[in-house]
Amino acid sequence: MANNKMIVEERSRDIGNFLVGRLLPFRKKRQVGPFTFIDHMGPVEITGPKYMDVDQHPHIGLSTLTYLLKGEIEHRDSTGAQQLIRAGDVGFMTAGSGVTHTERTPAHLRNGNPFWVHGYQVWVALPKAKEEMSPRFDFVSKAGLPSWEEDGLQMTLVAGEGYGRKSPLPVYSPLFMLDVFASRDTYLEIKGQLKGEIAFVVTEGKITDEAETIAEGQMLISKTEDECFISLEKDTRLLIFGGAAFPEERFLYWNFVSSSKERLEQAKVDWRNKHFPKVPGDETYIPLPGLKT
């Protein structure tokens, strides 16, 4: 494999009632463009009595992007937003100076009947000038996203710009995220269509890049935008994301992202002292890692 590319294996971690696979960050590559973090949720069949309940927790300096392939999640945050996110929709919470939120199985699914959940939560770091912007939540339904078919591919532009199209989702730096499904053996042209670093996450099936095969649960990263094309087997589904890298390094601690280590320390103090805004009507609280407060 060329030295401008790398393959990443999904690493499992437990988030309570869910086992998720983490693809980014990892030791040799902390970001792909502005994308700092990607967790793969499921696929998992939920039958109760345990459901998805991620209690109130904070973020700074980033936007969280929630994109489901199956199922539904209810999002609530300290801006007052309350949104049911279904498969194909995109929820985009921008933390900026500080926000808290919860993610839960919606009430209408807590009836003991089985249902599937499968999706991704992605963190997009904010440019330095926007790191302390006011928090906000944006939502675009599946029907509102640009979708098209070409050469045996069904393509949806979830965020940013690519292939001569622009997603209506507000973003704060040059980036792209696409959902691609191959209805037959085919290939995807990339050169001239996407700008910046590129990552391919295989959710189903497999792709081939030169002599390398990347299968379900793996991610291929190209650190340049001169990738020409990739081959896809029939019934392969991909998420493709990336964009222009920031000039400054980003630091991570728990749910916080910043270009300043001092800002991370302040966020720790603020969360420990319960100075963050709260989700209306929610008294849950996830303490900082290692604390029993």
- Rounded Cα gap, residues 21 and 24, in angstroms: 9
pLDDT of residue 57: 97
- Rounded Cα gap, residues 72 and 88, in angstroms: 10
- Rounded Cα gap, residues 35 and 31, in angstroms: 5
Strand pairing partners for 209? Answer: 212
pLDDT of residue 209: 82
Do residues 237 and 205 make contact, with C-beta atoms less than 8 angstroms apart? yes
pLDDT in tens, 158-169: 999 999 999 999
CA angle 32-35-38, nearest 5°? Answer: 105
- For 197, how many CA atoms within 13 A lie in the half-sphere containing its CB? 19
- Rounded Cα gap, residues 24 and 37, in angstroms: 5
For the chain, the structural domain boundaries read 5-243
pLDDT of residue 14: 45
Q: Which helix (H) or strand (E) holds 265?
A: helix 261-272
Burial class (CB in 10 A: 0-12, 13-18, 19+), 237: middle
Q: What residue has token string 């997603």? A: 167
User: What single-letter amino acid sits at 20?
Assistant: V
Do residues 100 and 56 make contact, with C-beta atoms less than 8 angstroms apart? yes
pLDDT of residue 41: 86
| Homologous superfamily of 5-243 | Jelly Rolls (2.60.120.10)
- For 148, how many CA atoms within 13 A lie in the half-sphere containing its CB? 10
pLDDT of residue 29: 53
Q: What residue has token string 């390094």? A: 249
Do residues 272 and 64 make contact, with C-beta atoms less than 8 angstroms apart? no
pLDDT of residue 261: 97
- Which DSSP category does 271 fall into? H
Do residues 78 and 279 make contact, with C-beta atoms less than 8 angstroms apart? yes
Question: At residue 78, what are phi and psi to the nearest 5 degrees?
Answer: -75, -5
pLDDT of residue 13: 45
pLDDT of residue 227: 63
Strand pairing partners for 101? Answer: 57, 77
What is the three-state SS of 31-71?
CECCEEEEEEEEEEEECCCCCCEEEEEEEECEEEEEEEEEC
Question: At residue 275, what are phi and psi to the nearest 5 degrees?
Answer: -100, 0
pLDDT of residue 9: 55
pLDDT of residue 226: 60
What are the mean pLDDT values of the chain's consecutive 10-residue runs (293 residues total)?
A: 50 43 51 87 88 96 97 98 98 98 97 94 96 98 98 97 97 98 95 90 89 82 71 96 93 95 98 97 93 49
- Rounded Cα gap, residues 103 and 194, in angstroms: 31
Q: What residue has token string 């209506």? A: 168
pLDDT of residue 251: 93
pLDDT of residue 279: 98
